[in-house]
Amino acid sequence: MKYDVLVLGAGAVGAMIARNLSRYELKVAVLEKENDVGNVTSMANSAIVHSGYDPVPGTNKAKFNVLGNKMFDEIADDLDVHFSRCGSLTVALYDEQLKILDDLAKRSKENGVEVKILSKEELLAMEPNINPEAKGALFAPTAGIIDPFNLVVHAMENAVDNGVELYLNEEVVDIKKDNQDIKVITRSGKEYIAKIVINATGLASEKITNLVEETDWHITPRKGEYFVLDHYKRGLVNHTIFPLPSEKGKGILVTMTTSNNYLCGPSSESINELDDFSCDGPTLANVRASALEMVPSIPFNQAIRCFAGLRATCTRHDFVIEFAKTLPNFIILGGIESPGLVSSPAIGKYVVEEMVGKLVELKEKSNYNPRVKRYIRPKELSLEERNELIKNNPTYAHILCSCEQVSEGEMLDALSRSVPPRSVKAMKKRVRAGFGKCQGGFCQPHVVNLLAKHYHLSPLDIPYDSINSKIIIARLKEGK
């Protein structure tokens, strides 16, 4: 199989690169080692569209954060993804921290980001539940929240709709020069040949680059643990609430989500393993204490789960975006940690137009469509619209997930798309079945049966996540 461009990795950055490549008359494929797109770092993060006030001016982080933030209104509309510019507040809890707010405001100006320093009274008027001892805050109105799961899924769907080929469960094990091209070999034994290869493998970016040349940088996984609170009521916070940033990152935040849940986290611990997504009691206790210091009324009795995500922290302390020194048609993206999600559209545009465009001619397709087919979301319809929908398609009246009120029709729609869910977790990310208070306790059997029916498989063959993560291992009793 030969391609003009081969993208390794289908997280937020890989998906945005693929979508930008699909605009042009190029033969493009994406290889992803997981059983779904956006299934590692892009799935387990704070889902924040950062304003860009925090990165060091002049860095790739600052450049692409600010550019990416400006793109999100159009991106969210084109890709039919929930997005809200709710703004962020970086809170000074003590008098001695007010000087740091001034420093952050100066950095914001250098980065071209609109901010305002708020007095204690202004802060409390905007956030009545904030710690009453807080001294002030930095308000960044352009910050927002996004649905990170469907941002990646819909970006890749749009790329595939425009001609990109997606191959899941294809882990890269070797890369070789093949005359003027590059040969990529996967664990399945398949070989993919391309004029250009783009390494967007996130946590594995150092490992994959070392198949081509030795890096002068190193990736250390940084684990962040979170609490998820049920969407029990609105107004606990009205913005994303940050503490002052430190050398470990932006700190433990409190924010609402586009699904009206609340997140508290993340912690920030350097680890050695690339697949350690465990949570532990002492770390979560620290997350809880830090969150309560900012918002004392957080009802942690409404927590419905915890989770951990990993970020690819680089020794350069910046995004690595460059050509390989020994193989100039190999493009390297490394250390894309926070603010990677908000930066992904701008990185995707830059890599295609400024890097791929130097290696091959970019001829725009006449039939390129930047928009996905609109998704039907019954909960967002009026009663009259919903009744009409159900009249025409009764599957939208068949609720399979009671907690999140997700219908069979929404699941069937997801299965009809060009990047359909192939596991229980993949369905969960697309339509939120299993995200509610029971965490899939009641709806999971329905999802398993629906996937089995769609793919003409036994329920025993339906995985929770990876192809080997079987939910049902045997039948206790065969029905007549």
| Predicted pLDDT of residue 449 | 96
Question: Six-digit token pair at 96?
Answer: 């001695």
What pLDDT, on the 0 to 100 scale, is given for residue 473? Answer: 84
pLDDT digits (tens, 9 = 90+) for 301-324: 999 999 999 999 999 999 999 999
* Average pLDDT over every residue of 449-473: 95
Q: Say what the pLDDT of residue 480 is.
A: 45
**CB of 402 closer than 8 Å to CB of 441:** no
Q: Where are the beta strands (DSSP E) in 316-397?
A: 320-323, 330-334
Whole-number pLDDT of residue 29: 98
Candidates 50, 231, 239, 446; catalytic one? 50
DSSP conformation class of 56: P
Task: Give the C-alpha distances (Å, rounded to integers) separating 159 from 17, 107, 166, 171, 415.
Answer: 9, 36, 9, 20, 17
| Measured distance CA(53)–CA(140) in Å, rounded | 8
Average pLDDT over residues 189-198: 98
pLDDT of 362 strictly over 70: yes
* Interstrand relation of 240-242 and 88-92 (parallel, antiparallel or unpaired): parallel
d(CA 335, CA 59) in angstroms, rounded, equals 13
Residue 119 to residue 111: CA distance in whole angstroms = 23
Share of the chain above pLDDT 90, in %: 95
Q: What's the mean pLDDT in 443-454?
A: 97
Average pLDDT of the segment spanning 325-345: 97
239 is an active site residue: no
- What is the model's pLDDT at position 274? 87
pLDDT higher than 50, residue 203: yes
Question: What's the CA gap between 193 and 196, in Å, rounded?
Answer: 9
Task: Concatenate the DSSP letters of all residues of 360-380 into one string.
Answer: S---B-TT----PPPPP-GGG
Q: Largest Cα–Cα distance of the chain, in whole Å?
A: 74
Please give the average per-residue pLDDT across 36-60, as a whole number. Answer: 97
pLDDT at 479 over 80: no
SS3 198: strand
pLDDT in tens, 222-270: 999 999 999 878 899 999 999 998 665 678 999 999 999 999 999 999 9
What values do phi and psi take at 266, rounded to 5? -100, 160
Share the mean pLDDT of the chain: 96
Is residue 478 over pLDDT 80?
no
* pLDDT confidence of residue 234: 87
Summarize the confidence of residues 51-78 as an average pLDDT: 98
Per-residue pLDDT, averaged over 10-22, amounts to 98
Is the pLDDT at 281 greater than 50? The verdict is yes
CA 36, CA 118: separation in Å to the nearest integer?
A: 43
